[in-house]
Amino acid sequence: MTKTERERARRLTIIVGVVLGIAAVVLVGGLLYQLVFVPNSSVARINDTSISVRDLDKESRFVQLQTIAQLDQLIQLQQSFGSSDTSGFFSAQISQLQNELFSNEGLANRVMESMIDTELVKQLAAERGITAPEAEVQSRLESFIATQQGFVTAPDATATAEALAAATPTPTFTPSPTPTTTVTSTVTVTPTEVLPTPTVHVQTAEEFTTGFDQVLTNIASGAGLTADDVRKIYTTNITDQILREQLTEQLGSEMPLSGEQVHARHILISVPQDGTAEDDQLALAKAISITQQLRDGADFATLAAQYSDDTSNSANGGDLGFFGRGSMVQEFEDAAFSLGINEISDPVRTQFGYHIIQVLETNPGNPDFNSWLENQKALARIVRSLTTDKVPNLPPVPSNLLSAQ
């Protein structure tokens, strides 16, 4: 081999080495990106805390498996009912779950929002010194596992026994009247069959450990997770539930109410849709006159039957029953929910005419934690960064479940 040929071969070797080196760097870099950078990167940030791709992947796998199990159960129930009217009820739920499982990206987004809520609840609770006692978390976890096995925990058994004792009347002594010598026919009494009291099995510590290990193993194998992953998810979910309850108890008065209702009645003095200004003034004058009569002590039901143009309820004293927000036109709703009990409103103008409203009862509803949390989310610093390359690669959903109906 000549000197020129040796030089050419050396240069070729160098070039091949450089190319292979670059390829190796690209390959290793790609693996590091997929196996290290992406799993540790963030899909969301809540104030100063991040949710990683790795944690989203684990939670999404757990939720997917739970949703698949629920879908499979609903399909079996629908099939057992056949073509009855009840099967239509299952169809709606089945379609909803199928839609949730149809897209990994859609499922991941829903799971991410749930994880954002959980983290924000944790932060809001910590700001107020609220924690979930470990003993309470453990107690609820034991109750869950006991239910899975058809058992009860000792605290649950005690609570049930106390409730039954409280519901059972205490026997009292009633003096019998002095017997007389009246002769009566003999009656044969057939004893009533006494059904045995169902017994419950109180879960032992060993049964809890065995049962929980089995649950962890089943879910871990089905979702591609470790037992520790599943244990952490269960503990996090129970902790979140406790924190929500304690926040509601402490801050309930600051939260909006859900299910708020009023029981009201009204008298409508209608105004024609194409009415003139004079028509409007005449209706208003009539409504003012009726309002004054009511405030002077006139009977509401009598005046409703006499004057109200709402024939759907005038014969019933104008009674509208209970209704919540969103049930009536806005002007009527605003007036009704601002009145005190038995208070008579000034005439309220709506598209139908003038209403005189009286509230008979109110139902304040319950603290709406979810609405309160949405308000808190608007105040928090939340950044979402779930891009396509960060969407979890979830196991395929059985095709027969997605096509069943």
Alpha carbon distance, N-terminus to C-terminus of the chain: 77
- Is 0.95 topped by the overall pTM? no
Measured N-to-C along each axis, helices 134-149 and 154-167 cross at an angle, to the nearest 10 degrees, of 80
For 40-55, b/e burial (b = at least 16 CB within 10 A) is ebbbbbbeeebbbbeb
Integer Cα distance of 355 and 332 in angstroms: 8
Task: Report DSSP state, residue 48.
Answer: T
Cβ-contact 118, 402 below 8 angstroms? no
**Which pLDDT value is given to residue 192?**
46
pLDDT of amino acid 37: 46
Task: Please report, for residues 97, 267, 332, 351, the alpha-carbon distance to residue 291 in angstroms, rounded to integers and kept in the order given.
Answer: 53, 9, 16, 19
What are the C-alpha distances in Å from 161 to residues 91, 155, 169? Answer: 39, 10, 14
Q: Between the CA of residue 106 and those of 97, 99, 103, 111, 336, what are the distances in Å?
A: 12, 9, 5, 9, 41
CA distance 59 to 112: 9
- Give the alpha-carbon dihedral of 173, 174, 179, 184, to 10 degrees: -110
At 7 the pLDDT is 73
What is the model's pLDDT at position 163?
Answer: 53
Residue-level pLDDT at 182: 38
The pLDDT assigned to 403 comes to: 86
Domain residue ranges in the chain: 55-163+200-259, 260-364
The pLDDT, as a whole number, for residue 184 is 39
CB atoms within 10 A of CB 75: 18
Question: What is residue 315's predicted lDDT score, i.e. its pLDDT?
Answer: 87
Provide Rg for the chain, Cα atoms: 35
User: According to DSSP H, which parts of 103-204 are helical?
Assistant: 104-127, 134-149, 154-167
Q: How many residues does the chain have?
A: 405
In the prediction, which pLDDT does 154 show? 81
Joined tokens for residue 116: 């954002």
CATH node for 260-364: 3.10.50.40
Nearest 10 degrees: Cα torsion 325, 243, 114, 143: -110
pLDDT for res 183: 36
Starting at the earlier edge strand, list the strands of the sheet with 382-384.
Answer: 49-52, 42-46, 382-384
Q: Looking at residue 195, what is its pLDDT?
A: 46
Interatomic CA distance for residues 250 and 242, integer angstroms: 12
pLDDT at 264: 97
Q: Give 37's DSSP letter.
A: I
CA-nearest of 370, 121, 113, 374 to 259 is 370
For CA atoms 150, 151, 152, 153, the dihedral sign is negative
Per-residue tens of pLDDT for the chain, all 405 residues: 676 767 777 777 777 777 777 766 666 555 545 554 456 799 999 999 999 999 999 999 999 999 999 999 888 888 876 665 556 667 888 999 999 999 999 999 999 999 999 999 999 999 999 999 999 999 999 998 888 888 888 887 776 666 556 554 544 434 444 444 333 334 344 454 544 545 668 889 999 999 999 999 999 999 999 999 999 999 999 999 999 999 999 998 889 888 889 999 999 999 998 889 999 999 999 999 999 999 999 999 999 999 999 988 888 899 999 999 899 999 999 999 999 999 999 999 999 999 999 999 999 888 999 999 999 999 999 999 999 999 999 999 999 998 876
The contacts of residue 38 (CB under 8 Å, 6+ apart) are 53, 389, 390
pLDDT confidence of residue 172 = 42
Task: Please give the pLDDT value at position 128.
Answer: 96
